[in-house]
Amino acid sequence: MSKHTVVSLFSGCGGMDLGFLGGFRFLGKTYKKRDFEIIWANELNKAACATYSHNISKNIVNGDIWDVIDDLPTSADVVIGGFPCQDISVNGKRAGVDGNRSGLYRAMVETVKRVQPKIFVAENVKGLLMEYNKFSLHRVIEDFEALGYHVSYALYNSANFGVPQARERVFIIGTPIGHMEFSHPKPKITQESWVSSESAISDLELVEEDKTINHTWSRAKKSPDQGSRQLKAERPATTIRAECHGNIQFHYKLDRRISMREAARIQSFPDRFIFKSNLRETERQVGNAVPPVLAWHLAEYIKDHLLKSSNNLEEVRIAI
């Protein structure tokens, strides 16, 4: 059986890509390989590309998407990407999709226009659903719909899919008009079964700092608001953020902020996934990533959708 081809934009360190590929273990559970092949990926940040190259594939293009967009493959089954959220986030400048960073969603629209995938997946922050971003959400949807796609969106909580983090993100998914529409996945587990912070990282409590496995942490002191957040042992972590080392959460028991290995665990990265960068860049990569386990579950639904859609088209051909 041939694999479904994937073009990945704004790939970061590769969290969503790893989820689509599968073939990793997390907290003692095996997440089997998926039938996807990433044939082209792009990321602006050089440090993130180094991590992606080490863990996912060396075939990632480092550069501004607008500078390399003409190198895109002529076709692919799937386009995925989390377009920048700085202008959309509740903690950002709220310029919406007219901002310099979040306006890059247009590069994803242009990619879909050129590649004509059977399905595309665009990820962004929960703030996209807030009232002040109403215009931005409608603009994004309208631009994709203008390409001949049916577009739907849903808010996903990573904790509902076995990630030890209550991270809420919007997934916008499009399929060609006239083809079967996508059905968003239902939660895999209930709140009573959420994975706690302690169960995710307790084995690292007595492990000394070790740069080789990214088990290093910021010495930033407590600061107002989010800079003083602390994990609660019995609950999933709140959202791991990327902006500043002063926002990395404190350990639920130890007198320090959590390490990058612990943060990666909370984001559901397997321990074999090594971030090839310094502390600050690793914080950015971990905080910006789509949790691989969440992406893995989404990829299962994408795979099933592609199979059902293909079968439906075949039935139509036979009927004709």
Superfamily for the 192-287 domain: DNA Methylase, subunit A, domain 2 (3.90.120.10)
β-pairing verdict for 4-9 and 168-176? unpaired
- Predicted confidence pLDDT, tens digits, the chain (320 residues): 689 999 999 999 999 999 999 999 999 999 999 999 999 999 999 999 999 999 999 999 999 999 999 999 999 999 999 987 554 444 555 444 554 444 688 999 999 999 999 999 999 988 888 877 788 889 899 999 999 999 999 999 999 999 999 999 999 999 999 999 999 999 999 999 999 999 999 999 999 999 999 999 999 888 876 688 999 999 999 999 987 667 899 999 999 999 999 999 999 999 999 999 999 999 999 999 999 999 999 999 999 999 998 776 544 444 44
97, 105 Cβ separation under 8 angstroms: yes
- Whole-angstrom Cα distance, residue 276 to residue 53? 9
Name the nearest CA neighbour of 52 among 9, 15, 100, 101.
15
- Whole-angstrom Cα distance, residue 77 to residue 117? 5
What is the predicted pLDDT for the residue at 85?
Answer: 54
What is the predicted pLDDT for the residue at 213?
Answer: 98
- Strand order across the 4-9 sheet: 60-62, 36-43, 4-9, 78-81, 119-125, 168-176, 149-157
Residues with a known catalytic role: 85
Q: List, by residue range, all CATH 3.40.50.150 domains of the chain.
A: 4-185+295-319
Within the chain, strands assigned E span 4-9, 24-26, 29-31, 36-43, 60-62, 78-81, 119-125, 149-157, 168-176
Residue 40's φ and ψ, nearest 5 degrees, are -160, 135
The fold of 4-185+295-319 is Rossmann fold (3.40.50)
What is the predicted pLDDT for the residue at 244?
Answer: 64
- Whole-angstrom Cα distance, residue 139 to residue 282? 32
Give the helix ranges, DSSP H, for 15-103.
15-21, 46-55, 65-68
What is the predicted pLDDT for the residue at 243?
Answer: 72
Name the nearest CA neighbour of 78 among 311, 290, 299, 308.
299
What is the predicted pLDDT for the residue at 268?
Answer: 98
What is the predicted pLDDT for the residue at 222?
Answer: 85
- Whole-angstrom Cα distance, residue 264 to residue 240? 9
Q: List, by residue range, all CATH 3.90.120.10 domains of the chain.
A: 192-287
Q: Which residues contact 28 (CB under 8 A, 6 or more apart)?
A: none
- Whole-angstrom Cα distance, residue 288 to residue 124? 10
Name the nearest CA neighbour of 93 among 83, 85, 81.
85
What is the predicted pLDDT for the residue at 49?
Answer: 98
What is the predicted pLDDT for the residue at 225?
Answer: 65
